[in-house]
Amino acid sequence: MADVPQLVAQAREGRPRAVARLISLVEGASPQLREVMAALAPLTGGAYVVGLTGSPGVGKSTSTSALVTAYRKAGKRVGVLAVDPSSPFSGGALLGDRVRMSEHAADPGVYIRSMATRGHLGGLAWAAPQAIRVLDAAGCDVILVETVGVGQSEVEIAAQADTAVVLLAPGMGDGIQAAKAGILEIGDVYVVNKADRDGADATARELNHMLGLGEARAPGDWRPPIVRTVASRGEGTDDVVEALEKHRAWMEEHGVLAERRARRAAGEVETIAVTALRQRIGDLHGDRRLGALARRIVAGELDPYRAADELVAGLTDGPSGPSGPGGPGSRG
């Protein structure tokens, strides 16, 4: 069993092995997960979480690396969660993003972690919110969450980040590639990367036009800027950082940042509760209560909705409550 207080103390000192161990406890849904989250709770809230999303090939990893460089020059500690596709063999992340950001590997002010989606359709591991909390408690000033490029389900990043950055690139064969995915509805900052390529001007114009067709904005509302970059050369990265800082300041001024973080916490609580209930329902297969309810339905004595109500009531009235003795996936 891990010594959680010691791991948390070491993580606060910036020791990467302690941070790695805590995130591993999160990913593995350790029976100690509740203890970890309880220890981290009073230490969080200081990090600015930026999500980067977009279709495959737009340069998310290169852009993330460029942002790390810019924030490090400003003296910020940076955490990176690169959410990779799950390996079909091990269930682990393929680590491609970590390889591409290897230039930062020796920097003690940068922590990079690849996480597996484990088939999660939103492109984000279910454990990502809690991994973000680990990096926050470990003293990261900025946390960059880069999602796997899976197109239409990328919109989930908006629920995990303070600011969502949508990246596009010219010549991807689909104009505004992700418009059909609803991705244009969730961006706070839009980046046209590879702006030295032919078609960059047209991509920016089309993006500006499509954003103009969106919801009507009242005076004082945030209008997402469009920034052009060549991330491979670091060009335009300072403009992206400036746009991010402006958005953060606007959110703080209008109370939007606190609202987003409360909504994020509510979603996390809901996910934990639903996961725990689903596990408890799964444990009922072959259980006599479920079998008895099924026989009453077949006999016409009970309809499925009333049966479900009885089943849920039995689950939630148990001695351990709806979340059981451990966290999601817990076997403790």
pLDDT digits (tens, 9 = 90+) for 159-173: 789 999 999 888 765
Q: Is 221 helix (H, G, I), strand (E, B) or coil?
A: coil
pLDDT (tens digit per residue) in 27-61: 888 899 899 999 999 999 999 999 998 888 889 98
Q: Between 306 and 316, where is the model more confident?
A: 306
pLDDT for the residue 159: 76
Is residue 100's pLDDT more than 90? no
Query: Please, which residues bridge with residue 49 across strands?
Result: 143
Tokens describing residue 209: 């036009």
Buried b (16+ CB within 10 A) or exposed e, 186-224: bbbbbbbbbbeeebbeebbebbeeebeeeeeeeeeeeeb
Element (DSSP H or E) covering residue 238: helix 237-254
The yes-or-no verdict on residue 286 having pLDDT over 80 is: no
Q: Are 157 and 163 in contact (CB under 8 A)?
A: no
Specify the 3-state DSSP secondary structure of 139: coil
Q: Is the pLDDT at 122 greater than 80, yes or no?
A: no
Both tokens of residue 88? 């079909």
List CB contacts of 220: < 8 A, sequence separation 6 or more: 254
Q: Is 288 helix (H, G, I), strand (E, B) or coil?
A: helix
From CA 164, how far away is CA 187, in angstroms rounded? 5
- If residue 63 lies in a helix (H) or strand (E), which one and from where to where? helix 60-73
Of the candidates 127, 107, 110, 108, the residue with the CA atom closest to the CA atom of residue 118: 127
- Cα 230 from Cα 139, distance rounded (Å): 30
Q: Report the greatest alpha carbon distance in the chain.
A: 72
Amino acid 29: pLDDT: 81
* Cα of 186 vs its chain's centroid, Å: 14
* Most confident of the ranges 159-168, 202-211, 248-257: 248-257
DSSP 216: -
Q: From start to end of 31-169, where are the E strands? A: 48-54, 78-84, 110-116, 142-146, 163-168
Q: Which two tokens stand for residue 13?
A: 């000192």
Give the mean pLDDT of 2-17: 92
Q: How far apart are CA 14 and CA 21, in angstroms?
A: 13
pLDDT at 96 over 50: no
From the number of C-beta atoms within 10 Å of its C-beta (0-12, 13-18, 19+), residue 89 rates as: exposed
User: What pTM was estimated for this model as a whole?
Assistant: 0.83
Q: What DSSP assignment string belongs to 151-193?
A: GGGGGGGGGT-SEEEEEE-TTSSSSSTTGGGTGGGT-SEEEE-
Alpha-carbon Rg for the chain in angstroms: 22
Judge whether 83 and 96 are in contact, CB under 8 Å: no
Top mean-pLDDT range of 244-253, 281-290, 311-320: 244-253
What pLDDT, on the 0 to 100 scale, is given for residue 155?
Answer: 61
pLDDT band at 91 (very low <50, low <70, confident <90, very high): very low
